[in-house]
Amino acid sequence: MPRYLTKSLLFLLALVVSFTVILNISLFIFKPALDRVLDKYSFKSLSFKGAYFLPPNFIFLRGVSFKDPRIIPPETFAVVPASRLDFSWLELIQNERLSVSTVSLYGPKIEYKRLQGMVFAEFRRIADFIRGLPRQDIQIRVKSALLEAGKGSRQSGLDAVLTLSGEHLFSSGRWHKKEDEAWPLDYRFKGFWVKDNLIIESLELKREKALHLELWGGLKGNILEFKGFSFLSGSRDYNKSKAVLERKAVSQYRRKFKIPDDELSWVKVYILDIDCRMDFSLSKVTIPRFDCAINNNPVSLKGEIGLGDGFSLNAAISCGMADFRNPSSARLKQSELNLNGRLKDRVFKGQAGINMDFSGNEDASGPLENLNLSFKGLRLYFARHKQVRIAADEVNCFSRTKSNAYKASLNGFEAGVYLGHDRYKMVRFNSRFYDGLLSGQARLDAGVFPLKAYASLRVKAVSANRLDGILEHFSKVSGRLSSRMNFHSHPEAVLKGDITIDRGSLNDFDFFNWLGDYFELPSLKRVGFDSAAANFTVDESGVGLQDIRLSSPDVGLKGYFKLGTSDLVSSRLSMTLSRRLLRDSKRFLPLLNIIGRGFPALTFSFQLSGSLHNMNFQWLRSELKKKLQDSIPDFIERHIEGKIEQAIDFAP
């Protein structure tokens, strides 16, 4: 190599090194000034430890950190150990402006839940900031980012590219769990600016055989509007989804967006016709409209999220179930959830209401038309280990069937919900139940839709007459009631159990009143007992009491009583009346004389049918009846029959 060339190269090298050193010293000296500029434009949320220049046109930033300005002092939620800015010398010399063409972020570590919260809370400012950026071409690359929900939680990785080119905006990337390479979530964004409005051409989120989401819309001022659709798989077994697949709406989406049939073979949930409008103001986010159809069932959400000291929430979600083909959900027509309260420090305090309307479907035999639950003084404590503790000052339950209304109240309700298992969720609860106690546990199977529920409940020592809202006949029962019951929702909703009432009485029961009046047995108006018990079943076909057992010194009762649809009764009962009791009746005395002294007590077996409030009655065959019939002539039988018809006004 010629000597002069070597000298020239050495000189050039010295020049570059000197220039680099001078520039790096300048960057070091002017760092406080740079910090001030950054503070101004980033609302004190962005800082860096050091900046270095490397020829020909790179600036390396060390220890860039992003802070949440909403917290005082601001807490770091993202750190970028190393960043590289590629800039243009030509732009710098010609226009005296530092024009960065590429930003590369290496190995950033981000607490994404805090980032989500900040983006949500500061959406308007961020949108204004993005709008205010100079429209220059730039590319931002994120390489091997580590994302975590919170400090110490499971990590996932992200690689992404964001390109601003003229008025156009592109971004794409891949999000994957660190320990599960088969999990990646790919996203792709395309948009462009029209003046200050961002038009979202498409936002796609895809995870192989798990998620396919496409949205489009725009950001105009404070208002974000978007439409779209989504297909989900999940581990859930949504029955009849194939039937939904064949629906016209899905076919249209498939054709419109050129999605091959076999690409949807994994799909179980179709969320179509997404239509959302969100209004971001400084203190709150209003959602006047979020509509979609989940498996062809309309879902609607309206609400308001207040930002400030925690999140305040006032939302109403309604879900129409008109088109679920699953028999167990066919009757659920509409469900609504209203939530009103404030979430702060992982505690939600407020009120909630759940309302479910059931179909008056002709082929649905079940009598339930409406179920309404309201929670007053509701507190939800969200623990870290997938546990939620629920407490409510008062829970009111109201239900209506075709012919009756039922209500019950709980006070001081407490429940623990364990959500750790992917599929099965456990709930344990206890509450004051009028002057007694209610406790129990439930298991929810979230692996199917609608949810399957299994529950066991125990009621202890409630005054029976306080339960007249559940069954009006309880108003005529005194005594302490205890019960054990089991509930399962699948294949059909069934509640079964036993019920015991201790040291009580039946007061003014219509049947006993009628018997007491007609046969002049006033003591039947109040039948005291040590213990009365029965098993019961509540299912789609009605309410039934089986194995009724009532024993008192003078009256015994055994049998079953079923109240079916349309309040129709089906019952067989055996009533035993002691000879001592019957001796008080002038009308029974002749009967006692006829049948002789061989019967210490008289047992009447009878069958009831017809309307609950207008029951038919038949005295069934028995030894007593036979003996009586043998003793009296037919015309007397007809006479008695006629008199009874007149007495209770049965005759047509």
Q: Give the three-state DSSP class for 6.
A: helix
Residue closer to other proteins, measured from CB, 246 or 630? 630
Query: Which residue, 179 or 634, is less far from other proteins as judged by CB?
Result: 634
Nearer to other proteins, 341 or 542 (CB): 542
Length of the chain: 652
Q: Do 648 and 519 touch, CB atoms closer than 8 A?
A: no
With contacts defined by CB under 8 A, name the span among 42-50, 92-100, 332-340, 355-363 that binds other proteins. 355-363
Q: Does 570 bind other proteins (CB under 8 A)?
A: yes
Query: Are the beta carbons of 499 and 481 closer than 8 angstroms?
Result: yes
Return phi, psi of residue 567, to 5°. 60, 35
Among 1, 614, 630, 633, binds other proteins (CB under 8 A): 614
Query: Is the CB of 232 or the CB of 569 nearer to other proteins?
Result: 569
Structure-block tokens of residue 477 = 């029962």
| Binding-site member from 63, 235, 610, 631 for other proteins (CB under 8 A) | 610
- Residues 6 or more apart from 623 whose CB is under 8 A from it? none
Residue from 607, 622, 624, 627 touching other proteins (CB under 8 A): that is: 607
β partners of residue 357:
334, 370
Residue tagged 């936002």 (tokens): 203
| Binding range to other proteins, per CB under 8 A, among 104-112, 186-194, 253-261, 566-574 | 566-574
- Helix H or strand E segment including 252: helix 248-256
Q: CB under 8 A: which stretch of 38-46, 158-166, 178-186, 360-368 binds other proteins? A: 360-368
Q: How far is the CB of 561 from other proteins (least distance, A)?
A: 14
Please pick, from the candidates 615, 622, 624, 627, the single residue that binds other proteins as defined by CB under 8 A: 615
Shortest distance, position 628 Cβ to other proteins, whole Å: 9
Q: Does 11 bind other proteins (CB under 8 A)?
A: no
Closer by beta carbon to other proteins, 338 or else 570: 570
Q: Judged by CB under 8 A, does residue 631 bind other proteins? A: no
Integer distance in angstroms from the first to the last C-alpha of the chain?
131
CB of 591 to other proteins, least distance (A): 12
Question: Cα 441 to chain center, whole Å?
Answer: 18
In a 10 Å sphere around its CB, with 0-12 CB exposed, 13-18 middle and 19+ buried, how is residue 171 labelled? middle
Interface with other proteins in residues 180-199 (CB under 8 A): none
Residue at token pair 């925690």: 310
Cα distances from 248 to residues 211, 243, 261, 296, 516, in angstroms, run 21, 11, 14, 10, 67
Instruction: Supply the minimum distance, in Å, between the C-beta of residue 491 and other proteins.
Output: 21
Among 197, 251, 252, 609, binds other proteins (CB under 8 A): 609
Q: Which stretch binds other proteins (CB under 8 A): 149-157, 163-171, 381-389, 638-646?
A: 638-646
Distances (CA, A) of 373 to 322, 409, 634: 21, 10, 58
Q: Which is nearer to other proteins, 95 or 616 (CB)?
A: 616
Give the integer Cα–Cα distance in Å for 652 and 642: 12
Dist CA 563 CA 543 (whole Å): 5
Pick from 568, 591, 595, 601 the residue near other proteins by CB under 8 A.
568
From 187-195, 223-231, 298-306, 614-622, give the range in contact with other proteins by CB under 8 A: 614-622
Residue 251 makes CB contacts below 8 A (sequence gap 6+) with none
CB of 630 to other proteins, least distance (A): 12
Minimum gap (Å) between residue 436 Cβ and other proteins: 36
Could you tell me the sign of the dihedral formed by the alpha carbons of 83, 87, 92, 97, in that order?
negative
Q: Which is nearer to other proteins, 52 or 617 (CB)?
A: 617
Q: Quickly list DSSP for 409-453.
A: EEEEEEEEEE--SSSEEEEEEEEEETTEEEEEEEEEETTEESPEE
52 vs 518, which CB is nearer to other proteins? 518
In 3D space, the residue among 89, 81, 18, 84 whose CA is nearest the CA of residue 49 turns out to be: 81
Binder among 172, 355, 565, 622 for other proteins (CB under 8 A): 565
Which is closer to other proteins, CB of 217 or CB of 366? Answer: 366
C-beta of 652: minimal distance to other proteins in Å? 5
Applying CB under 8 A, does 646 fall inside the site for other proteins? no
Nearer to other proteins, 271 or 644 (CB): 644
Neighbours of 623 (CB within 10 A): 11
Among the candidate windows 147-155, 255-263, 439-447, 642-650, which touches other proteins by CB under 8 A?
Answer: 642-650
In the complex with other proteins, the residue whose CB is nearer, 448 or 568, is: 568
Segment lying near other proteins (by CB under 8 A), choices 100-108, 177-185, 459-467, 609-617: 609-617
What is the helix (H) or strand (E) element at residue 120, kind and residue range?
helix 112-121
Cα dihedral 238→239→242→244 (10° resolution): -80
Minimum CB distance to other proteins smaller for 18 or for 566: 566
Q: Of residues 617, 622, 624, 627, which one binds other proteins by CB under 8 A?
A: 617
Among 252, 618, 623, 631, binds other proteins (CB under 8 A): 618
Smallest distance from other proteins to CB 644, Å: 5
Q: Which is nearer to other proteins, 359 or 463 (CB)?
A: 359
The candidate with the shortest Cα–Cα distance to 574, out of 604, 609, 531, is 604
Cα separation of 207 and 148, whole Å? Answer: 19
Number of residues that bind other proteins (CB under 8 A): 29
Q: How far is the CB of 278 from other proteins (least distance, A)?
A: 43
The whole-angstrom separation of Cα 53 and Cα 89 is 13
CB nearer other proteins, residue 94 or residue 611: 611
CA 606/CA 618 separation, integer angstroms = 5
List the one residue from 616, 622, 630, 631 that touches other proteins (CB under 8 A): 616
Residue 362 near other proteins by CB under 8 A: yes
**Does 652 engage in binding with other proteins (CB under 8 A)?**
yes
* Region of 95-103, 252-260, 459-467, 617-625 interacting with other proteins (CB under 8 A): 617-625
Look at phi and psi of residue 550 and say left if phi exceeds 0, alpha if psi is from -120 to 50, else beta.
beta
Residue from the set 181, 363, 422, 630 that interacts with other proteins by CB under 8 A:
363
Instruction: Please give the Cα distance from 379 to 352 (Å, whole number).
Output: 10
- Please identify, among the stretches 117-125, 221-229, 264-272, 615-623, the one whose residues bind other proteins according to the rule CB under 8 A: 615-623
Q: How far is the CB of 617 from other proteins (least distance, A)?
A: 5
Full DSSP string of 148-182? ESSTTS-EEEEEEEEEEETTEEEEEEEEEETTEEE
Asked whether the beta carbons of 422 and 445 are under 8 A apart, the reply is no
Positions that interact with other proteins (CB under 8 A):
360, 362-363, 564-566, 568, 570, 607, 609-611, 614-619, 629, 637-638, 640-641, 644-645, 648-650, 652
